[in-house]
Structure 1
Amino acid sequence: MSIVDRLREHVEDNQRGMLYDLVFALVWVAFVDALFRFVFPPSYPEWAFYLFMLAGIPAYFGFFWSLKMAKAQQQE
């Protein structure tokens, strides 16, 4: 099995999840960018911007974990 076949199979198996990941990342980056452009003063420290971007990692897992929990409760 070639690498292209493996990649194609992986994308076919995880298509929906990969789309959700991409949408979350785009929304998070747009949110942080808008926050630092329009809400915070222009003299913000650069490390704060990167800290907010990095906060997207726990936000991602927290969002999808809570979504999973809500779906489980709804099925009960």
Structure 2
Amino acid sequence: MSLVQTIRDHVATHRSEMVTDLLFALAWVTVVSLLFDVVDGPQWAFYLCLAAGVVAHYGFFASVEAAR
């Protein structure tokens, strides 16, 4: 099986999860960017909040899975 076919199969199998992850990431970056436009915080705090999105992502989807 070629690499392109493998990627195509993976995307076809996980399409909805990939779209959900993308939407979460876009929402997180938008909220953090808007917040830091308002408060004009330090650059390191901005990057720390962006990195916290990884933890927030896994926490949010773990709680959704637990609720199901």
Q: TM-score, normalised by structure 1?
A: 0.86
Matched, 1:20 2:16: no
Can you list the C-alpha shifts for 1:25-47, whole angstroms capped at 9, x where unaligned?
A: 00000000010012x1x3x2110
Aligned to 2:5: 5
Aligned to 1:29: 29
Aligned residues: 68
Q: How does 1:1-76 map to 2 (within 5 A)?
A: 1-38=1-38, 40=39, 42=40, 44-71=41-68
C-alpha RMSD of matched pairs (Å): 0.7
Higher Rg = 1
* Whole-angstrom distance in 2 between the partners of 1:45 and 1:30: 17
**Greater helix share, 1 or 2?**
2
After the TM superposition, which parts of structure 1 deviate over 3 Å for at least 4 consecutive aligned residues? none
Can you list the C-alpha shifts for 1:3-61, whole angstroms capped at 9, x where unaligned?
A: 110010000010111011100000000000010012x1x3x211000000010011000
Unaligned runs of 5+ in 2: none
